[in-house]
Structure 1
Amino acid sequence: MTAMIFTDIPVSEIDLSDTGFRITGSGCDIEHLSASICRYGIMVAPLVMCQRDKYIVVSGFRRIEAALHSGLSRISCRVMPAGQFLDAALAAVTENSFSRELTPAELIRATTLLMGFMDAKSMAENATSIFNMPLNPGYIHTLARIHTMPDPVLDLLEQGQISIKACKNLLTLDSDILSEFLHLFSQIKVSSGIQMEIIAWAKEICALEKISLSRLIQESPLDGNDAGHRDMGALGKQFKSFLAQRRFPALTAAKFKAQEQIKTLDLDSGCQLTLPENFEGMVYTMQMEFKNEDEFNMRLNRLAKLSEHPAFKSLMAR
């Protein structure tokens, strides 16, 4: 790594508009960091590069932004000589990756930054010393391709509303369908696995029914004027349920019938009968809660009588 010097720099000479080495997102809240700087100062000096009559930031964007917010006029920085771009890119990545685990969006920015100076094979060979984790060339190329997707992708990754796996699944779609999916995931929040199910089911429904994705979404619970003000997790569950019913109508109907049969069993709050996951297996789960021996025996007796209940027999015979 190129030798660097420590010096105090006027904030006015630091060009925050040059984000070429930025790994972190630009929408981070700096209020707490600003308060910490006001009280304790900057604990780790930002790294900048001297460029003619200004300095560009290599690492420490948030610290400098927070210092500006705190009203500081000068900041103590580590300064790299001009023109050391590979060293600067490596420093930008390693300083972040060895202080904490990179987020998916940060990993994409980091690999894309380094691909301007080294190939995927070299990056993979040195991944543990650069990213603090192993990476293979294929995965690095995938991350670089995701970086070429429309701007909302990194924002959605930053917010945890889409995963790298889901992005990879969307790479081959045309721009209009891709934009529809990105808009969809901006309205809901579900796990990576459910994101994959939603993408697969939506594509299958559109193909089977010969309709557009936009029309499918219009017919879903998301097509409401107040969707932006509703809980994104709840909307995600509703949308998945809508797709499941649309894609697997017979299975959904059978599952609903089974749930209605369970209700007729009139189990008390201390007993819960759960259907097999995805209603595909044959293993049911019975959960029983009790506070004392009498309650235990009472619930056992209640469960023992279930085998004679017509709804229970019908449920087991499905």
Structure 2
Amino acid sequence: MKQVSLLPAMIFFVVANAWSQEGRIKFIEYDLDNGLHVILHQDNTVPIVNVSVLYHVGSKNEPPGRTGFAHFFEHLMFEGSENIGRGEYMKIIERAGGQLNANTSQDRTFYFETMPSNQLELALYMESERMLHAKIDSAGIATQKEVVKEEKRLRIDNQPYMSFQEKMFAAAYKGTAYEWIPIGSFEDIDAATEQDFVDFYRTFYVPNNATLVVAGDIDMEQAKDWIAKYFSEIPRGSKEIPRPAITAPDLGGEVRETVFDNIQLPAVMYGYRMPPKGTPDYYALQILTTLLAGGESSRFNKKLVDEEELAAVMFAFPYALEDGGLFIAIGLA
């Protein structure tokens, strides 16, 4: 029997393990006394810093009859604060060379600024302002109601195929807080009072319901000092934060619906209820997405588009959520 040296294999293992360790993102995390969770990552490669705040509130936290609140607040929080004039929030960040945006899901609302690293203190100040005393008044509410309505018309109502989100979640999660999508309804937003919005803000936009992440060209100790300066005095929320339980209902079999819409190509869309985000099966579905629909050599494309010519194009993606979600496959014929 030929003798085989294990040395090359051992060297490869050691080097590969070192590469793996080197590739891990190093960070520190801690909590302020008011409950704000902080995550810091230092990367001095380029003079850029990203500041983001995630509030653990999404459309699933909305009671029936108040759908769209979480997404509405995504817009309302740019109105300004006691110390930032109305309509000035974006201008201040952009004048400092930064970019900013926000988005809302069923589970969370996320805000971020990407800034030159010498503007880190400004970004932290701006985020602390809207956490401490955002401008919630009738003028801002009226303005953002029209903005949100126009967004719904543009992105949902008048966008080909986009009704599928509302219909899929309404069928797959009927009777739960995942039944509606974040955009909500015009009727619920119009029916809300100013006090409804104030109550929502005081319940969910509190430090003990938020995670602050600072990543990029930072000095760790200086970042900690500024975070303490701007966030430590914000009082902890005094209201109980509702956490609705999502239990997927028994569908009793496959649910089908035929939708007649103003489209040029017919589409077939499948939604499969999936495990929660962060579980082992969630990561398996990420890999499955690449296998099924990741490029021209993917299974869907080779079989359904090239070989059988049943579809002009195929998509697949996991719409992953904290308490489940949908694995969605779409084919346009």
TM-score w.r.t. length of structure 1: 0.21
Structure whose CA Rg is larger: 1
The structure richer in helix per residue is 1
The structure richer in strand per residue is 2
**Bigger relative contact order (CA 8 A; separation at least 6):** 2
